[in-house]
Amino acid sequence: MSPKPSTRRRRTDRVLSPYEQLRNEVTEGIKNARLDPELDPSGVREFVLGAIEQWQSVARQGLDGKELLARPEEMAERILRYVLEYGPLTAPLSDPGVEEIFIEGDDIFYIDGGGYMRGVSEVTTADENLAVVRRLLQDSGREVTEREPMVQARVLDGTVRLGVVIPPIADKLSVTIRKYTMRNETLSLLVVRDSMDLRVAELLWAAVRSGLGILVCGRPGAGKTTLLNALLRAVPPTMVVRCVEEIRELSAPVMAGSYYQTRPAGADGDVAAEVSLRDLVRTCLGMRPDLLVVGEVRGAEAFELVRAGNAGCGVIATVHSNNPFDALSALRDTAIMAGGNVAPTQVQSTFQRMFHLVVFVDREELAFDEQGGAPIRRQVMEVSALMPNASGEDFLLQPLFVRERIGEPLRWTETDPADTTIARLDATLKRYESSTAQLLRGTPANVVPRDDAVENQLAPRPPVKPTRRRGSFPVPVVPSVSLSVEPGTDR
């Protein structure tokens, strides 16, 4: 017979609440009874109801210091959510309007469909949240431990990206969960969403078809990956496409080519098992790509892009930055640091030839608010062209389209890209009886497909209830994070 769970924590000497005591007892009891929450949910429900009934019986007799539950039905549902689903994360994970979820110790926040930051109403604890996060990670084959305190993985059948950091690296449990709220992004859909106008969509479509280099930049959450997915859907099926990412987020189907993602070092410290983004870029360059796509450039892979520029393949990449010029500067500086003795002028010259357009995207600010609102707007704020620079001192950018602020229209600056860029665009647009000049001046080339189903894609999706996956049942609680919940309450 297993020992009865203690009602106190050794590290904090904190009295556990009735919910925590019941949750621990039920979790341990289900494990000992060999009940499978996925195969036998009714048996689990019966077990939970029996445990609560027993708790109430003992409490009425004044034994074991147990308090009588004021709302036993609510307690049962909360414990069942924890056992059968994902506890306090069940509701935000099920809501199709929720884009991102943040866990900071005991607290859970999320961004709702109206663009507002909200908190989960029920009281949670850091160790309960950590146990749920570990459960989410089970299917990914990753585990967050003191040996591996930082983990990123795709979970829930690849529909969610999860990043977690635990002490001692962080001062408390810190988790970001990003849901892929759009899965069929196209340039025409982004036009309907007012992320860009038709001229910019057609310009980007022609740029992709012409094999031009495109750098997408912006701050986190601005819509870089969404735009990258839309650009990938404009790639002709005859192109061989190689896409590399640290954690796969791109979802556009590729006719000829593949997706690759990195692999961390083994849990036992086996560095030989690691596959970095730099390794993937280097490998893909030997696989005859017509187009190399890098989901996000942050490290040494920037130097390998210099090789890509000399290899002659098209490149589309994203980078975090506050504007187009900073994006190119960050890319250059990162490549120089990773390249050892490489000359800065050589790196800059290569990037100047490799990239033809830089697209800067941004989003509205978030706010705490009790009122509803429209979804967060993410819009293209600037499209700039790289121009020849005889002096070679720095990048020379020519803005083609600019938007002064979110919500205002994109304005053509009445300027053109470089002659070499125009020549390649015109070679593509000529097949559609159009040209770069006509497109920039507002005459549609009718190259971006206009699908009647686009409007239907804007309708909210029905909620998908996240259910437990098969796998070993987690331990009840992991006492590795400090807690701060008032003792002696049902919650």
**Distance between CA 486 and CA 491 in Å, rounded?**
9
The answer to whether the CB of 452 falls within 8 A of the CB of 439 is: no
82: helix, strand or coil: helix
Between 67 and 414, the higher pLDDT residue: 414
73 pLDDT above the threshold of 80 = yes
The kind and range of the H/E element at 12 are none
**What string of DSSP letters covers 444-462?**
----S---TTHHHHTSPPP
Scored b (16 or more CB within 10 A) or e, 3-18 reads eebebebeeeebebbb
Tokens linked to 282: 């280097």
DSSP letter, residue 471: S
441: how many CB neighbours lie within 10 A of its CB? Answer: 11
pLDDT of residue 320: 94
Q: Average per-residue pLDDT in the chain?
A: 84
Could you tell me if residue 488 is left (phi over 0), alpha (psi between -120 and 50 degrees) or otherwise beta?
A: left
User: Which tokens hold the place of 123?
Assistant: 């009281």
> Which residues, in sequence order, are bridge partners of residue 333?
none
Instruction: At 265, list the tokens.
Output: 């070092």
Beta strands, E only, 321-437: 357-363, 378-386, 397-402, 411-412
Helical pair 18-32 and 41-60, crossing angle rounded to 10 deg: 130
pLDDT exceeds cutoff 70 at 1: no
Q: What are phi and psi of 71, to 5 degrees?
A: -135, 75
Residue 9's pLDDT is 42
More confident residue, 22 or 449: 22
Q: Binning pLDDT at 50, 70 and 90, where does residue 480 land? A: very low
With contact defined as beta carbons under 8 Å apart, do 425 and 212 qualify?
yes
- Pair 362, 381: CB distance under 8 Å: yes
Residue 136: how many CB atoms within 10 A of its CB? 22
Q: How confident is the model at residue 310 (pLDDT cuts 50, 70, 90)?
A: confident
Stretch 169-196: mean pLDDT: 88
Q: How far is CA 348 from the centre of its chain?
A: 30
Q: How far apart are CA 293 and CA 250, in angstroms?
A: 10
Position 97 scores a pLDDT of: 82
The single-letter code of the amino acid at 146 is: E
Asked if residue 487 has pLDDT above 60, the reply is no
**Mean pLDDT confidence for 256-285:** 82
Given a contact cutoff of 8 angstroms between Cβ atoms, the answer to whether 99 and 225 are in contact is no
Could you tell me the pLDDT band of residue 199, with boundaries at 50, 70 and 90?
very high
**pLDDT at residue 489 tops 90:** no
CB 410 within 8 A of CB 173: no
Cβ-Cβ contacts under 8 Å for 54 (sequence gap 6 or more): none
- 422 vs 112, residue with greater confidence: 422
Assign 163 a pLDDT band (cuts: 50, 70, 90).
very high
Of the pLDDT bands very low, low, confident and very high (cuts 50, 70, 90), residue 472 is very low
Tell me the CA distances in angstroms from 54 to 19, 32, 71, 215, one per residue in order.
14, 17, 15, 62
Compare 242 and 67 and report the one with higher pLDDT: 242
